[in-house]
């Protein structure tokens, strides 16, 4: 699990959804509504349902493949609890700046933040300084979008 590998006691708020052979975690503050999840596997990710994630509704490999499309890293998965970094990171690492100023990074990452150093494979970092969830973008700045009220989890 990629949660809180640093030395601080505080931990990011994660929701956990268990399925047969795979557990999906969701960090609401990092969700930026790219909707890759709901478009990629609507039987698993359904905003009109509670819980909105049902990992057992598809093959674990397929669930993992769609989770890896989540650009913000809000969605992560592990096949076994002892998997520290279950997801194979992209190589080489890539960094892309969006027109709104976010930094989209994929690779074998260690991100320093309020929870200590976290191993990550996908992040969207704040490029404007306005985010209240640094170093991650939280749509507080010029990157804000009309659907920002529709954050899953609440979902």
Site residues for ligand SF4 per CB under 6 A: 31-37, 70, 72, 74-75
User: Which one, 18 or 147, has the nearer CB to ligand FES?
Assistant: 147
User: Which one, 107 or 141, has the nearer CB to ligand FES?
Assistant: 141
Footprint on this chain of ligand FES (rule: CB under 6 A): 101-102, 126-128, 130-131, 137-141, 143
Question: 33 is in the binding site of which of ligand FES, ligand SF4, none (Cβ under 5 to 8 A by kind)?
Answer: ligand SF4
**Partners of residue 129 on adjacent β-strands:** none
User: Which one, 21 or 28, has the nearer CB to ligand FES?
Assistant: 28
Query: How many Cα atoms are found within 13 Å in the side-chain-facing hemisphere of 13?
Result: 7
**Please, what is the minimum distance in Å from the beta carbon of residue 70 to ligand SF4?**
3
Q: Kindly provide the residue ranges of all beta strands, DSSP E only, lying in 4-146, ordered along the sequence.
A: 15-19, 22-26, 75-78, 94-97, 103-113, 116-125
User: Is-contact 27 70, C-beta < 8 A?
Assistant: no
**Please, what is the minimum distance in Å from the beta carbon of residue 20 to ligand SF4?**
21
Q: CA–CA separation, 127 vs 98, rounded Å?
A: 9
Exposed/middle/buried for residue 36 (C-beta within 10 Å: 0-12, 13-18, 19+): middle
User: Which one, 8 or 144, has the nearer CB to ligand SF4?
Assistant: 144
**Please, what is the minimum distance in Å from the beta carbon of residue 148 to ligand FES?**
11
Question: 108 is in the binding site of which of ligand FES, ligand SF4, none (Cβ under 5 to 8 A by kind)?
Answer: none
The helix (run of H) or strand (run of E) holding residue 39 is helix 36-40
**Please, what is the minimum distance in Å from the beta carbon of residue 9 to ligand SF4?**
26
Pairing type for strands 15-19 and 22-26 reads antiparallel
């Amino acid at each position: 699990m990629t949660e809180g590998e640093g030395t601080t006691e505080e931990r990011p708020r994660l929701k956990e959804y268990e399925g047969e052979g795979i557990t999906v975690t969701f960090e609401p503050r990092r969700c930026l509504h790219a909707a890759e999840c709901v478009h990629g596997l609507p039987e698993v990710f359904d905003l009109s349902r509670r819980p909105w994630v049902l990992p057992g509704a598809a093959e674990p490999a397929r669930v993992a493949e769609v989770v890896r499309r989540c650009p913000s890293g809000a969605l992560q998965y592990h096949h076994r609890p002892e998997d520290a970094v279950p997801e194979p990171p992209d190589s080489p690492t890539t960094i892309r700046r969006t027109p709104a100023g976010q930094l989209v990074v994929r690779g074998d990452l260690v991100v320093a933040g309020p929870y200590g150093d976290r191993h990550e494979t996908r992040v969207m970092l704040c490029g404007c300084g306005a985010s209240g969830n640094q170093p991650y973008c939280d749509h507080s700045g010029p990157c804000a979008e009309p659907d920002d009220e529709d954050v899953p989890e609440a979902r």
